[in-house]
Amino acid sequence: MKFCSVCSSEVKQRIPHGDNRLRFVCTTCETIHYENPKMVVGCLPEWQDKVLLCKRAIEPQYGKWTLPAGFMENAETTEQGALRETWEEAGARVEISHLFTLYNLPYISQVYLMFRAKLLDLNFSAGEESLEVRLFSEDEIPWDEIAFLTIEKTLRQYFEDRRKGHFEFHIGDVERRVK
């Protein structure tokens, strides 16, 4: 950040009085510009024994498979964001049942919130950010082509819970994926 969004003056990094972290502070109006983690929200759409995955048409991870998810927008709830992302990426109408996973990614300042959701019908299609959208059973999932570790962990946890016959809420931290 170089300029203040309030008065357009130059900003400098310093620790404001009463704070303990470096922040961008305006050299003129003293506005403190906070940077906070990004929220990624999405759905794990279910249809019978299958889940709906999207093949990414954008970077990062172009051509890899993921659950429909993306950055939450201002003025929307986590559920609204998850429904919007599912519609935008997969053209899918879903009914959210509950929050399934929450993963912290402190190394990139993101938090993933994934909801279990029931597909309302089979009228889905690839949106602008997807090359393909398709239902997969557990044994059909291209595990080596999953775009993000958070999505792989969510899917593995889902199938493990399904085998147990009981779905729980899962929370954890995710470190960088080792290549």
Residue 22 is part of a domain; what is its CATH number?
Answer: 2.20.70.10
DSSP per position, 33-88: E---PEEEEEEEEEETTEEEEEEESSSSSTT-EE-SEEEPPTT--HHHHHHHHHHH
> Which pair of structure tokens corresponds to residue 139?
């044994």
User: Do both 23 and 56 map to the same domain?
Assistant: no
> Which pair of structure tokens corresponds to residue 153?
């962990």
Pairing of strands 38-47, 50-56: antiparallel
Does residue 178 carry a pLDDT above 70?
A: no
CATH code of residue 130: 3.90.79.10
User: Do both 162 and 129 map to the same domain?
Assistant: yes
User: Do both 29 and 43 map to the same domain?
Assistant: no
* 178 in any annotated domain: no
Measure the CA–CA gap between 69 and 49, rounded to whole angstroms. Answer: 21
Closest by alpha carbon to 53, among 41, 67, 39, 63?
Answer: 67
pLDDT in tens, 43-59: 999 999 999 999 999 99
pLDDT value of position 176: 81
pLDDT in tens, 118-159: 999 999 999 999 999 999 999 999 999 999 999 999 999 999
C-beta separation of 4 from 11 below 8 A? yes
User: Do both 156 and 140 map to the same domain?
Assistant: yes
Measure the CA–CA gap between 90 and 132, rounded to whole angstroms. Answer: 8
* 117 in any annotated domain: yes
What's the number of domains the chain is made of? 2
How sure is the predictor about 179, in pLDDT bands with cuts at 50, 70 and 90? low
The residue-averaged pLDDT of 76-80 equals: 98
User: Do both 17 and 43 map to the same domain?
Assistant: no
User: Do both 20 and 55 map to the same domain?
Assistant: no
User: Do both 134 and 61 map to the same domain?
Assistant: yes
Residue-range definition of the domain harbouring residue 64: 38-173
User: Do both 6 and 62 map to the same domain?
Assistant: no
Measure the CA–CA gap between 27 and 18, rounded to whole angstroms. Answer: 17
SS3 state of residue 30: coil
Whether this model's pTM surpasses 0.75: yes
